[in-house]
């Protein structure tokens, strides 16, 4: 899995490319954990290049979100396709994340 990264001010934007499944979840978790530390918890995950998320991929996102919640923050997701939205809705996890249509909207939410 390729993970594009960019820093916008104090916010780290991670854009994984490919399905977020058990095969790549640990790699993504490692990079996400580093990004949370490097950016003081200001992280946007752009899922526009992720066609599908399995249970392990969801766990990684939930774990990161829970770590941020301890400090009163939440993981910001953007670019969610209909399949991932349905998975989040069916699992009851949709309300645990801040969702945005695009990266710019997610970035503006930090101000």
Using one digit for the tens of pLDDT, what is the confidence trace for 50-97?
999 999 999 999 999 998 888 878 789 999 999 999 999 999 999 999
CA 76 to chain centroid: 6
**Nearest residue to 73 (alpha-carbon basis) of 99, 95, 43:** 43
> What's the pLDDT score for residue 21?
94
CATH architecture type of domain 2-108:
2-Layer Sandwich (3.30)
User: pTM for the complete prediction?
Assistant: 0.93
Q: Which run of H or E residues covers position 74?
A: none
> What's the pLDDT score for residue 47?
97
Angle, alpha carbons 75-110-1 (nearest 5°): 40
**Nearest residue to 82 (alpha-carbon basis) of 46, 50, 39, 35:** 50
With 80 as the cut, is the pLDDT of residue 111 above it?
no
Beta partners for residue 46, in sequence order: 78
> What's the pLDDT score for residue 75?
87
> What's the pLDDT score for residue 101?
95
Contact 14, 46 (CB under 8 A): yes
Q: What is the DSSP letter of 41?
A: T
């Amino acid at each position: 899995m390729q993970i594009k990264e960019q820093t916008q001010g104090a916010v780290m934007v991670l854009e994984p490319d490919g399905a977020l499944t058990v095969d790549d979840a640990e790699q993504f978790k490692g990079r996400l954990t580093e990004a949370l530390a490097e950016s003081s918890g200001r992280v946007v995950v752009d899922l526009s290049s992720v066609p599908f998320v399995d249970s392990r991929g969801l766990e990684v996102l939930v774990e990161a979100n829970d770590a941020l919640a301890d400090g009163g923050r939440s993981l910001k997701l953007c670019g969610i396709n209909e399949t991932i939205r349905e998975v989040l809705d069916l699992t009851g996890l949709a309300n645990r994340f801040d969702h945005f249509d695009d990266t710019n909207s997610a970035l503006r939410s930090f101000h």
